[in-house]
Amino acid sequence: MNLSINASFLPHVDAEESLTFYRDVLGFEVRLDVGSGQMRWITVGPTGQPDTSIVLTPAITDPTISEHERLAIESLMAKGSYGAIVLATTNVDEAFAEVESRGADIVQEPMDQPYGLRDCALRDPAGNMIRIQQRD
């Protein structure tokens, strides 16, 4: 069996803010933009990597979710504990400087982790945690 990751899904609270972040801060290309308002799905991905995408989805679309569940999801999103993704780069310090200069919400500056990786962390407008790891 030969499997690869085609798409990951992250929730958004404001489609336009998320689009701006992934396009203008991370430099991803927009591949698909469907729906409207809060019911909008936007597929983005790194330029030159057409087989890897992130689909930005409305945070809550299931009509059976209770008010209590909706509040729990929104609380987890605000803390950065609901959705996350790990990106990789050959120079995390350079990538960090670039995303910081573009106004990213920084959680952690680049540092050497005790488990052997150098990484940094930021959050997107919905609160999703994004870690950027250095890979040679």
Phi-psi region of 100 (alpha: psi -120 to 50; beta: other; left: phi over 0): alpha
Residue 81 lies in a domain: yes
pLDDT tier at 107, thresholds 50, 70, 90 = very high
Per-residue pLDDT at 28 exceeds 90: yes
Hey, what are 121's tokens? 């962390």
Residue 2 lies in a domain: no
Distance, CA of 38 to CA of 15 (rounded, Å): 7
Tally of domains within the chain: 1
The pLDDT, as a whole number, for residue 122 is 96
The pLDDT, as a whole number, for residue 3 is 82
pLDDT tier at 61, thresholds 50, 70, 90 = confident
Residue 53 lies in a domain: yes
Per-residue pLDDT at 38 exceeds 90: no
Average pLDDT over residues 60-76: 88
Average pLDDT over residues 92-121: 96
Structural domain of 74: 7-134
Distance, CA of 99 to CA of 109 (rounded, Å): 11
In 13-83, at which residue ranges do the beta strands (DSSP E only) sit? 29-36, 39-45, 53-58
Global pTM reads: 0.91
Residue 13 lies in a domain: yes
Hey, what are 5's tokens? 């990751």
Contacts of 103 (CB under 8 A, 6+ apart): 25
The pLDDT, as a whole number, for residue 59 is 86
Per DSSP bridges, beta strands 129-134 and 84-89 are parallel
pLDDT tier at 51, thresholds 50, 70, 90 = very high
pLDDT tier at 136, thresholds 50, 70, 90 = confident
Distance, CA of 74 to CA of 66 (rounded, Å): 12
Residue 33 lies in a domain: yes
The pLDDT, as a whole number, for residue 119 is 97
Q: At 29, which CATH number?
A: 3.10.180.10
Per-residue pLDDT at 118 exceeds 90: yes
Residue 1 lies in a domain: no
Per-residue pLDDT at 34 exceeds 90: yes
